[in-house]
A and B are shown apart, each in its own frame.
Chain A
Amino acid sequence: MKILVCVKQVPDMESRFKPDGSGTWFEEADLAFRMNEYDEYAVEQAVQLKEQLGNEPEVTVLSIGPDRVNEAIKKALAMGCDRGAHIQDPAPQGKDPWQIASIITQFAQGEGFDLIFTGMQSQDRGSAQVGVLVAELLGFACATTLVGFAYADGVITAKRELEGGIKGIAKLRLPAVVTCQLGLNIPRYPTLPNIMKAKKKEILAIPVADLLKEEAVASTARFYPPARKGGGIVLEGDVGNLVEQLYGILKEKTTVLR
């Protein structure tokens, strides 16, 4: 079995974001980047499946982006993926989900994957499109928002998370794409020996121009902070003072202090 996991590198969401010169994205300079949280679950599920099948499957991890995305690829390799594919794109941010999906599809077509894992969405953009688009372009079965995954004899039993705590159960035949939701599993931490081992694993480097055949179908016109609606009070300063201030406010504005 051949498995592909797609990982995106995103800025740490605790960062302070400001628009860049073009006004269509964020200024990258001061940001720390990490693997998209949803994709950690995708990597973990792929590695768990490999282990379940006696390590027979080969797991490839792919990321599109500038050189920094190698960090995300290396993390996935240290978690147990076998080889990496870095699609070198100095400006992935200028591409829409359709283009990102078509790049992944081009790569996958030459490889003959049976199963592809993606996150259900990215933390920075959150389109929740790429995985499903890849499935459609490849003609694979697809289920989204998995909080449960089981595999036996060419069939995946997928537990999808619906609203209000209800789950939907579906069975999919391979080849398939599944998109992973938070809580699907408990992603492992890469151990030091595995980080060392990962250094020896192959990472293909492929220029994006070799795989990009599609024009964008959507574009970002503007990137900006939301208008502040909240008339809420912001308290800052010494903790002792903050406690006194908040206590006073709670006494005045609520009925919960007795």
Chain B
Amino acid sequence: MKALLVCEYREGKLLDSTYELLAFADRLGAEKAMFLIGSDSALPACSTTVYLADAAKHGEYNPDVHKKLVLDAAQRENADCIVFVHSSYGWDLAPRVAAALRAGQVSEIVGIVDGGYEVGCCNAKMRRTVVPKSGKAVLTIQAGAFSSSDTPQGTPRVERIDTADGASPMEFVGYEPAEKKDVDLTRAEVIVSAGRGVGKKDNIPTIEALAKALGGELGASRPVVDAGWVDHSHQVGTTGQSVSPKLYVACGISGAIQHLAGMKKSDFVVAINKDKDAPIGEVADVLVVADVMQFVPALTAKLQ
């Protein structure tokens, strides 16, 4: 089996997720080649072939053209599978490549199991084994699911690729930097986070009171922020802040992967959830099965 691994490059830098692709291919036991639309000054440390196209010419986000370049490399390499990270770059580009090849795509792979790929479903509460039925397959791997302890090393053999066909109905305008945070959760020793399970905006002060009683800060899951109950500067997760407090208390948070990515490095995790099966239980040191609005005020009272 031959795998073409599609690296990511943003704002002039090769992203580290590149090495997760290598770790995945090793787990798969596949022969590897890499693909990068980037520059000579930011090549991955590896000893495989890298098909390199110039980001200065083809842009960092230009999916119609990137698709053509990936297809070109996949054909030259005669790759059996084309692998992306399941990221804003990967989930955007992968289906375009799959459609062109009429190939089956398996999204957000978390494991390799006998005869197929393991993916999460139902908000990470369940798993599925998915089997591509096409000759070639397009795969995206969950960010953080595959890693290697080896330090990446080696010098790749560069194969240049290019296309004269730059036609696209889309024009990339540029990046907008992340908002400045007025709350720095990364320094907090204790974070008490509110999730959708707190029910309504009026209940947020109850969660805040527990945070205060523990000498910590208020955190939040994304729906709570999207609904305007809490400011975005409090959001924990892939599109918020990554935190590692001594104590993280998740109140009415289900434990979606994008939330876990931001808090799983916490020293001690307490989850309060009425659902015993909530995936937050996977990372919680203590799962308290209770109604959050009954339990939290009682705990706050005990602490005061």
Q: Which residues of A contact B (CB under 8 A)?
A: 11, 13-14, 16-17, 24, 26, 96-98, 101, 120-121, 123-129, 132-133, 135-137, 140-145, 157, 159-173, 176, 182-183, 186, 215-226, 228-230, 232-236, 239-240, 242-244, 246-247, 249-250, 253-258
Contacts and interface: CB of A to CB of B under 8 A. Distances in A.
Contacts of A224: 126-129
Interface of B: 10, 61, 63-64, 86-89, 91-92, 94-96, 98-100, 102-108, 115-116, 120-134, 168-179, 189-190, 214-216, 222-223, 225-228, 238-240, 246-247, 254, 267-270, 275-277, 279, 281-290, 294-295, 298-299, 302-303
Contacts of B87: 163
B95 A16 contact: no
Nearest to B115: A221
A230 B276 CA distance: 13
7 contacts: A16-B275, A136-B95, A144-B91, A161-B239, A170-B61, A170-B172, A242-B295
A141 B92 CA distance: 12
B291 to A, nearest CB: 8
Nearest to A125: B121
A220 to B, nearest CB: 5
B107 A128 contact: yes
A28 to B, nearest CB: 12
Given A168-B172, A243-B298, A144 B133 contact: no
Dominant secondary structure at the A interface: mixed
A149 B51 CA distance: 34
A218 B99 contact: no
From B86, B125, B276, B289, residue with most partner A Cβ within 10 Å: B125
A218 B131 contact: yes
A129 B105 contact: yes
